[in-house]
Amino acid sequence: MKKEKFKLSTRAWNNIFDISNGLFMLFIVVIMLYPFLNTLAVSLNNATDSIKGGIYLWPRMFTLRNYEVVFENELLLTAFINSVSRTLLSTVGGLFMCSIAAYVLSRQEFLVNAVVTVFFLMTMYISPGLIPVYFLYRDLGLINNFWVYVLPGLFSAFNVIVIRTYMMALPDSLVEAARIDGSGEFQTFIRIVLPLCKPVLATVGLWIAVGNWNDWFSSFIFAPARTELTTLQYELMKVLSSSMAQMSNQQAGAIAAQGAQAFQNISPVAIRATITIIAAVPILCVYPFLQKYFVKGVHVGSVKG
Amino acid sequence: MKTKNLKRKLIRQRDLFFMIIPVMVYVFVFSYLPLRGWTMAFQFYRPQREVQEWVGLDQFRFLFTDAAFFRVMQNTLGMSFINLVLGFTCAIFLALMMNEIRQMKFKRVVQTISYMPHFLSWVIATALISDFLSSTGILNTLLINIGIYETPNIFLANKDYFWWIVGWGNVWKSVGWNTIIYLAAITSIDPQLYESAALDGAGRFRKIWHITLPGIKSTILVLVIMNIGWILNAGFEVQWLLSNNLTIEKAETIDVFVIRYGINLRNYSLATAMGIFKTVSSIILLTSANWLSKRLVKESLV
Amino acid sequence: MKFRKLIALLLASAMLVSLLAACTGSGSGDDGGGGTVTPPIVEPGVTPDPPSGEPSAGAALAASLGLPYTPLSEMDPITFTYFIRDPGVAPRSDNPIIGIIETITNTKIEFEFLVGDLETRMSVMLASGDWPDMAYFGGEARPFIDSGLALPLTSLIENNAPNLRSHYAPWWELMKHSDGEIYVAEIYGTPVGTQYINEHWGTAFWLQKAVLDHFGRAPATLDEYFDFIREYKELNPEIDGVPTIGFEILTEGWRRFCIDNPPMFMAGYGNWGPAAPVNQRSFDAPSAAGCRWTNDWNKPYYQKLNDEFHLGTINAETLTRSYDDYLATLASGAVLGLSDQLWNFNSGLDPLRAEGRFERTYLPLDFTYDGVTPMYLDQREFTGNNGLIVNRDVSDPVRLIQYMDYLIQEDVQRLLSWGLEGEHYFYNDRNFLERSQEQRDLQVESQWQEDNMGIRLYNQFPKMQGSFSDGNATTQGEQPDEYMAGLTDYDKELFAKLGIFNQTGLMRSIPAAWPAFYPYWSMTWEDGSAAGLANTRITDINERYLSQLVITAADNFDALWVEYVSAVQDIDASPLWEVIEQISQERLDAFFN
């Protein structure tokens, strides 16, 4: 009797929890979606009109002109190809390097584990400054070279630690079993451990990809002289900064006749919104493919039994 | 006997050495080699000179005796602390709650949407924040309508609010993105644990508290320790964009200080000196956090 | 605040502030309307004759367009790279006018515009020595000269560029660096001929046209200015549904000159910069300069702002606004007054113009304290550092100089600035350059201009500013008739009501001739030096106090003022004043040389 009652209230309690959690998530959805919708609306609104502000969820004066301005760029295709290649190469290379390091460090019996961990960890907190880095890259022949986008950024101590933590949480029995089978370390790593690490690799891969995709600074400092090495973000930054320049160009006195049409049809507010959307869309498209790894998880349980 | 043992171990672990040595060489080249540049901190560096003027610790002396230094240090620590506490609690809480969503589709949608603000630049994000806080913004309208204020409170004009505005702004922009790692960590938890807990009649909260949370404990700890090392990096972009002359006293971080007194005056030596100071402080902080964590929860980075 | 950025902006503004009334009204005694014209300063250079025989493609093109011949037409194609310190758009490869220049000179210029942070990019360029063939750094070329990365141009110009040499003749000595060499090919500070002024783009107190319309006259003093604003605001608490805002003050970043500079102008000074001289009319000896912030004449202005804050004319929110917010606020049409430079807020007025709400745009006023002569109008001033520098490793310096020499010739300048005769302009019956309404409409869009006109080459190389030898303004914007043709009907009516002829009509300032050491803001010091440090410290104090002074309780104002002044006095600024005095003396010496 008593037990029955208890069960019922648990279910009720569960429902209350689910409903309030659902409401909370709705609230999260609203405050997180709003900025994006707002940016989209601004990007679709007349640029001059946008200066006035007060655009919320819907464009006031609809136009595709802002997108046209961005897509007029002669270098956009080159830039896109470069961005995609560097993102792919960096993600694959970065994941490989970080997970190798993580695998070795996840083995606590490894003789020099502590030393190597410290050696890696320190890199997160030392900043040599831009100029010495430039000199290093120049010595390595990386200036104005495509590989400057990929090579220097393959390693990240942060990512190593995150992957290592995940690996250490995996049941030991798996690795032990492999070792008894007599397979070498490298094979154990590739065949057994890596497949089990899909969720964390998806996470870290996303970080590396987003970081590379959004990086315009290396083009700016390390490859400014080579237009064929430009990246999407760098071109987008160019459009943005030139829209700022146009704003002050009017001052150049070229236009005295401030007649009725004498207003620009481009403004940094609108361009910034437009390039944000353009840059974010590819990542929003890739995300669902990775997402299943976070949502579902792996069935480690089965191996244990 | 002992050396023999060691030798045998070395041989057994040679695969591991072969795997890690290339990575270490790489790290040495790209992360440690440029540290040659640290000598700049002890010079009055001028570009294009063969011989530089050595000034010893003058740059450091300038840093630590400057009246502004302690103010910016205070601001940095204050904002970092708020960011750390708010950032971690909110992200963990949100991840746990997301994990409790039973509807798979809804779960995916919420997740995707929650990380979207991460892709907005701070320029756009701060513009939205100041809209929200302005005298005609949503917050003031709401507070006036429910009768808390009679006239709008101009939040951005009050320097006492500034740290909290930055803290919550950071949460809003990055909480969704930060949940991803916890959600990934949750996947490594053995589902059998939940099943047996359910058999024991454990409710939702008890499952969260006794299984999920301990399951991601090491991830949380590792992230906290690493972030403590970064406590002097409170950033500068948000502060730069959100502050104004009325709040600047509470808004300047040491990064802003370096930009103004190092980069903009093209005093590279000062900027380098600050870099060294930050590195040393980070390592001290990291070591202490690591030690503390080892003592208290028997878990640590190294 | 980034003082150097401010310098650059002020420079830009100075370049706009083209002066002297064509249509009277500004009190100038000069004949206006483009009647009589000062003789041209530029002497025609020596133009070599083309070689006999079949002319090259470039020479043939030059001849067909009536442009001078250049030996460059016979040479192999060459490309120079050019870094510009500002963001911008490189001209399209199919730009017709730039194409003409390329064909004639066989020289292609590849522009690199700034994308990210200038200081970061510059520091890498300086340290590594990797930088393009030439660069425009605004007023910041000095570190490149100090570190030996820039090429001396003195003998190059003297031997290879007769036109450029005669263009620079009045400033030749002033252009020399302390080692006696010229490194910077000045672009902006070398005016020629008559300087027309139709519009004021610099510092002023701006008042909404509707307010002027309502009162039918301009306020005479700052007090009356605020009285007008208050009265109009009471009559119109809302403008088109938006609550009326009395007075806006922009304080964001380096744009904080909107709160920093007005008292200097109120006290009758020109746009000097970080310091103000004891006697700004001292022409033969440097007048000791001191920190302008400790002067008594600052206080009344901030006291006035504080009073108006408590009267509700100024809202504290204005002090929190970012630049974008500020422009949006102006675009609402609800702001009655502000103190700013027109180029800084002009784009905020674009939506108003687009909607035809011309009564919500502004006219400039130049108030001063009692009995002080206003000095708001500036002539183009030679700065000595606002130009391009050339890389010491450039492949062919002589060719580069010859190219610049070709561009500075009057016919080429007209091509770059006005375009092609018939296609972009025509000569009217008074022999003045004019654009038809159709041609004018095209110029309105800056993107079209960038793609179709030679404006990029005109802007980025040594150029003629003012008027050509035939009296025509060097740019459309300065041509008086073009200005009049572009006025809206609303403006015409309002101008008639107020009894003025152009936008500057309500200002009383007379363009001043300044001593050779004017202005201080164009002075530079060595990187990492104590002078720069002192300057940054002063900015720090201003940032922390001036806004607070506006909103502090009325009875606290005096105490806070004392605190502020003593904070400024605590800074050891002597290195800054020493540099200013030293450079002042150098400039005077060069001037009298």
User: A touches which chains (3+ CB pairs under 8 A)?
Assistant: B, C
Q: Which of C127, C346, C441 sits opposite A261 (nearest CB)?
A: C441
- Give the residue among A213, A205, A210, A211 at the shortest CA–CA distance from A82: A213
pLDDT score at A247: 57
Q: Is A169–B109 a contact, with Cβ atoms under 8 angstroms apart? A: no
ipTM of the prediction = 0.87
Hey, which of A55-69, B219-233, C85-99, C279-293 has the most confident mean pLDDT? B219-233
The verdict on B269 touching C (C-beta cutoff 8 Å) is yes
Does C410 reside within a domain? yes
For C214-246, write each residue's pLDDT tens digit.
999 999 999 999 999 999 999 999 998 889 999
* CATH code of the domain containing A77: 1.10.3720.10
Give the count of Cβ contacts less than 8 A between chain A and C.
Answer: 162
Q: What pairing do the DSSP bridges indicate for beta strands C362-365 and C238-239?
A: unpaired
Residues 6 or more apart whose Cβ sits within 8 Å of residue C240: C332, C333, C334
Does A14 reside within a domain? no
Q: Where are the domains of chain B?
A: 57-297
Residue B84 has pLDDT above 70, yes or no: yes
Interatomic CA distance for residues C256 and C274, integer angstroms: 13
Domain containing C501 equals: 201-376+491-592
Q: Which helix (H) or strand (E) holds C157?
A: helix C154-160
Q: Which of residues 248-287 of B touch A (CB under 8 A)?
A: 268, 271-272, 275, 278-279, 282-283, 286
- Label residue C306 by pLDDT band (50, 70, 90): very high
C191 and C207 co-located in one domain: no
The verdict on C527 touching B (C-beta cutoff 8 Å) is yes
Closest chain A residue to B269, measured at CA: A129
Residues 6 or more apart whose Cβ sits within 8 Å of residue C282: C515
Q: Hey, how many other C-beta atoms are within 10 angstroms of the C-beta on B284? A: 11
Q: Is A221–C482 a contact, with Cβ atoms under 8 angstroms apart? A: no
Residue C19 has pLDDT above 50, yes or no: no
Exposed, middle or buried, B144 (CB in 10 Å: 0-12/13-18/19+)? middle
Domain count of the fold of chain C: 2
Residues of C in contact with A238 (CB under 8 A): 87, 89, 113, 115
Does C42 reside within a domain? no
Residue C13 has pLDDT above 70, yes or no: no
Domain containing A166 equals: 69-304
- Label residue A205 by pLDDT band (50, 70, 90): very high
C134 and C234 co-located in one domain: no
- Label residue C482 by pLDDT band (50, 70, 90): confident
Residue C202 has pLDDT above 70, yes or no: yes
C431 and C357 co-located in one domain: no
Does C256 reside within a domain? yes
3-state secondary structure of C314: coil
Does C369 reside within a domain? yes
* CATH code of the domain containing C586: 3.40.190.10
A140: left (phi over 0), alpha (psi -120 to 50) or beta: alpha
Interatomic CA distance for residues C500 and A175, integer angstroms: 90
Interatomic CA distance for residues C543 and C414, integer angstroms: 45
C92 and C165 co-located in one domain: yes
- Label residue B2 by pLDDT band (50, 70, 90): low
For B36-51, write each residue's pLDDT tens digit.
889 989 988 888 888 8
Residue C346 or residue C286, greater confidence: C346
For C20-45, write each residue's pLDDT tens digit.
333 333 333 333 333 333 333 334 45
Does A207 reside within a domain? yes
Interatomic CA distance for residues B134 and B229, integer angstroms: 35
pLDDT score at C2: 43
Q: Which residues pair with C291 in a beta bridge?
A: C275
pLDDT score at C430: 86
- Which own/partner contact pairs does C291-297 have at CB distance under 8 Å and 24+ positions apart? C291/C538, C291/C568, C291/C573, C291/C577, C292/C264, C293/C538, C293/C541, C293/C542, C293/C565, C293/C568, C294/C565, C294/C568, C294/C569, C295/C267, C297/C263, C297/C266, C297/C267, C297/C369
Which of A136, A248, A261, A272 is the best residue to mutate to test the C interface, defined by the most C CB atoms within 10 Å of its own CB?
A248
Residue A185 has pLDDT above 90, yes or no: no
Does A21 reside within a domain? no
Q: Is A263–C13 a contact, with Cβ atoms under 8 angstroms apart? A: no
Looking at the structure, give the CATH architecture of the domain made up of residues B57-297: Orthogonal Bundle (1.10)
Does C450 reside within a domain? yes
C409 and C308 co-located in one domain: no
Hey, which of C5-9, C76-80, C188-192, C506-510 has the most confident mean pLDDT? C76-80
Interatomic CA distance for residues C12 and C7, integer angstroms: 9
Q: Is C443–A234 a contact, with Cβ atoms under 8 angstroms apart? A: no
- Give the residue among A59, B115, A247, B275 at the shortest CA–CA distance from C344: A247
C465 and C514 co-located in one domain: no
Interatomic CA distance for residues B236 and B201, integer angstroms: 50
C370 and C518 co-located in one domain: yes
The verdict on C142 touching B (C-beta cutoff 8 Å) is no
Tell me which of A292-301, C100-109, C296-305, C535-544 is least confident: A292-301
C198: left (phi over 0), alpha (psi -120 to 50) or beta: alpha
Residues 6 or more apart whose Cβ sits within 8 Å of residue C136: C82, C83, C84, C85, C187, C387, C388, C389, C460
Does A185 reside within a domain? yes
- Label residue A7 by pLDDT band (50, 70, 90): low
Mean pLDDT of chain A: 82
Mean of the pLDDT values across residues C115-119?
Answer: 84
For B186-215, write each residue's pLDDT tens digit.
888 888 888 888 888 888 888 899 999 998
C404 and C303 co-located in one domain: no
Q: Is B265–C320 a contact, with Cβ atoms under 8 angstroms apart? A: no
For C383-433, write each residue's pLDDT tens digit.
778 899 999 999 999 999 999 999 999 999 999 999 999 999 999 888 889
Interatomic CA distance for residues B10 and C259, integer angstroms: 71
For B85-126, write each residue's pLDDT tens digit.
999 999 999 999 999 998 888 988 998 899 888 888 888 888
C448 and C411 co-located in one domain: yes
Q: Is B266–C2 a contact, with Cβ atoms under 8 angstroms apart? A: no
Q: Where are the beta strands (DSSP E) in B34-179?
A: 43-44, 53-54
Q: Burial letters for C447-475: b for 16+ Cβ neighbours within 10 Å, e otherwise?
A: bebbbbbbbbbbbbbbbbbbbbbebbbbb
The verdict on B3 touching A (C-beta cutoff 8 Å) is no
C581: left (phi over 0), alpha (psi -120 to 50) or beta: alpha
Interatomic CA distance for residues B210 and C250, integer angstroms: 55
Does A98 reside within a domain? yes
Does C312 reside within a domain? yes
Does A286 reside within a domain? yes
Q: Which residues pair with C113 in a beta bridge?
A: C84
C307 and C343 co-located in one domain: yes
Domain count of the fold of chain A: 1
C147 and C63 co-located in one domain: yes
Residues of C in contact with A255 (CB under 8 A): 443-444, 446, 476-477
Q: Which residues pair with C466 in a beta bridge?
A: C192
- Label residue A245 by pLDDT band (50, 70, 90): low
B220: left (phi over 0), alpha (psi -120 to 50) or beta: alpha
pLDDT score at A260: 31
pLDDT score at C48: 64
